[in-house]
Structure 1
Amino acid sequence: MIDGDRNGGARLGIGLEYGRVSSGLAVPALLGAVLLAYFLVPFVVFVLQIGSIDVLERFADPAVRTAIRNSLLTAPVSTAIATVFGVPLAYVLSRASFRGKRLVEAAVVIPLVVPPIVGGVLLLTVVGRYTPIGAAAAALGVPLTDSRAGVILAQTFVAAPYLVVTAKAGFDGVDPRLEEAARSMGYGPLETIRAVSLPLARNAIAAGIVLTFVRALGEFGATMMVAYNPRTMPTQIRVAYISEGLEAIVPIALALLAVTLLAVVAVRALVGTPRNY
């Protein structure tokens, strides 16, 4: 009975504690609800307006289909490039200490802090048609502007930092002692990364891949500067809105929205939702 009373008292204490926490969250929840409504109301209004628009007819527009195809072809390539080069960089930034590390970390986030259209200008100074690199590539038949290659360059520049930052956070969460244990068992550096570090950081890496893909898919500013043609979904949205108005952008907006929602579901499935105890 005493134990039971103690347990009951503990349960009561926990309940009271949770009660105090819940009441303490009232003001933050109210403030957060305002921002949540700001997110949801435009989405709901947009969905309600779809019924008055012949979406299937607009999907038949060759320009719409071409834009969707271009985005779905280039965004995965940009994401793959970001993954191949970004995951190793994230691991080095997480584990190594070297002179100039702060500068490298700052360089990684530059595309995140500059406006995308400025990022496009920065790229043009390197790969533009009249730069040495751009001229050499064009001479080889691989123009780096106004081409799918240009789209990929712009998408990678803007989106890759998301992968590096997210993957680094995942590697930061891996206990270095586990890697040391693997090394003491005879694993080499690369084997340790493959067998220990990557599996333990896989959720963060997967989330970074999804976020990078979505960011690449929706990139407009840098893409417009580097490769206005061939048009991707964001650039086609801009062109259609200027020439035909809001209704003309609904099909492409729906395609982007569908991919974004799938990405959110993927992130939740891969990373999960932390629970409070």
Structure 2
Amino acid sequence: MAGASVGQRRFQWRGGGLFVLLSVVLLAYLLFPFLAFLQWSRRSSILPALSEPAAADAIRHSLLTAPVATVLAAIFGVPLAYVLARHSFRGKRLVEALVVLPLVLPPVVAGAMLLTGIGQFTTVGSFFAARGLPLTSSLAGIVLAQLFVAAPFVVITARAGFASVDRRLEYASRSMGYSPVRTFLHVSVPLAGKMVLAGVVLTFARAIGEFGAVLMIANNPRTMPTQIWFEFQTGGPVATVPLAVALLAISLVVILLTQYAGRLSTA
């Protein structure tokens, strides 16, 4: 029995060692681009470059459009997530597939699809353009592109959160006279709050970092990712560092704020 126990511990140690090795390899690979990027950043004057009009405009456009796209995704996506988590209906799998589809589409294909629906020569696009609201080459077009590729994140993540909520709590709320909407707002959303918040953050991160679809819909005005591409074409990798640092800093701040909010919710 003692020999068997030693052998079992040796087997577990070898297995654990393999897991650690595989984990270290992946983490090293994920860390390497950041270290290389920091090395490149020493060759660039970041703050003066960010004060240039083109970079400042790109930052302003991103910080304006990404929150708008995120808010729209949350307003429409969180209720959809609740419906998918709580109700069964004909065509539900098709709806679920449509929600996931933008995630697996290449961004350029997503942009091309949007152009066929809202381009300036389409019925929808010409209708809005005639009324002074063009849906391409505009901030509205950027928001629509970001919304298309990013909204699935809040739907999928929030749905998982609602699915984890005990339905008996919702039934209890309804039995106390609360309407479905009040139950949703005061019971379901708070209980699934962490997942909803995670979905919102992922949506914002995806929206502010979107390149392909935004480039197809609105080459101008430029966002940070599209301006980074323009800088790369004209100045090489070093020219992209300032805006890339700014985008990385924004993403890091969002992640830290989310973690802080998560700790407050469990306090």
TM-score, length-normalised on structure 2? 0.91
Work out which of the residue numbers 188, 194, 202 in structure 2 matches 1:197: 188
Work out which of the residue numbers 36, 43, 60 in structure 2 matches 1:69: 60
Alpha-carbon distance in structure 2 between the residues aligned to 1:227 and 1:25? 50
The answer to whether residue 102 in structure 2 is matched with residue 140 in structure 1 is no
Alpha-carbon distance in structure 2 between the residues aligned to 1:93 and 1:168? 7
Work out which of the residue numbers 13, 21, 44 in structure 2 matches 1:53: 44
Work out which of the residue numbers 236, 243, 248 in structure 1 matches 2:239: 248
Shift of 1:267: 3.6
SS of 2:222's partner is: coil
Report if aligned partners of 2:65, 2:139 keep a CA contact under 8 Å in 1: yes
Report if aligned partners of 1:210, 1:266 keep a CA contact under 8 Å in 2: no
Work out which of the residue numbers 141, 163, 167 in structure 2 matches 1:172: 163
For residues 215-251 of structure 1, the C-alpha deviation after alignment (integer angstroms, 9 at most, x for no partner) is 0000000001111110000000000000111111111
For residues 145-178 of structure 1, the C-alpha deviation after alignment (integer angstroms, 9 at most, x for no partner) is 0000000000000000001001001101101111
Q: 2:5 maps to which residue?
A: none
Report if aligned partners of 2:165, 2:188 keep a CA contact under 8 Å in 1: yes
Q: 2:97 maps to which residue?
A: 106
Report if aligned partners of 2:43, 2:238 keep a CA contact under 8 Å in 1: no
Alpha-carbon distance in structure 2 between the residues aligned to 1:187 and 1:19? 58
Q: 2:219 maps to which residue?
A: 228
Aligned length: 256
Work out which of the residue numbers 71, 87, 90 in structure 1 matches 2:78: 87
Shift of 1:264: 2.4
- Relative distance call for 1:192 and 1:112 in structure 2 (3 A) is same
Report if aligned partners of 2:40, 2:238 keep a CA contact under 8 Å in 1: no
Shift of 1:20: 8.0
Q: 1:12 maps to which residue?
A: none
Alpha-carbon distance in structure 2 between the residues aligned to 1:100 and 1:117? 28
Letter in 1 for 2:213: A
SS of 2:135's partner is: coil
SS of 1:90's partner is: helix
Runs of at least 5 residues in structure 1 that lack an aligned partner in the other structure: 1-16, 273-277
- Relative distance call for 1:193 and 1:157 in structure 2 (3 A) is same
What CA RMSD, in Å, does the superposition of the two structures yield over aligned residues? 1.8
Letter in 2 for 1:50: S
Shift of 1:52: 2.6
Letter in 1 for 2:226: T
Alpha-carbon distance in structure 1 between the residues aligned to 2:87 and 2:240? 47
Alpha-carbon distance in structure 2 between the residues aligned to 1:226 and 1:52? 33
- Relative distance call for 1:195 and 1:22 in structure 2 (3 A) is farther
- Relative distance call for 1:249 and 1:209 in structure 2 (3 A) is same
Alpha-carbon distance in structure 1 between the residues aligned to 2:147 and 2:192? 22
Shift of 1:26: 2.1
Shift of 1:32: 1.7
- Relative distance call for 1:48 and 1:105 in structure 2 (3 A) is same
TM-score, length-normalised on structure 1? 0.88
Alpha-carbon distance in structure 2 between the residues aligned to 1:83 and 1:141? 27
Identical aligned residues as a percent: 54
Shift of 1:210: 0.8
Report if aligned partners of 1:159, 1:215 keep a CA contact under 8 Å in 2: yes
Q: 1:163 maps to which residue?
A: 154
Shift of 1:266: 3.1
Q: 1:5 maps to which residue?
A: none
Q: 2:3 maps to which residue?
A: none
Report if aligned partners of 1:89, 1:164 keep a CA contact under 8 Å in 2: yes
Report if aligned partners of 2:44, 2:242 keep a CA contact under 8 Å in 1: no
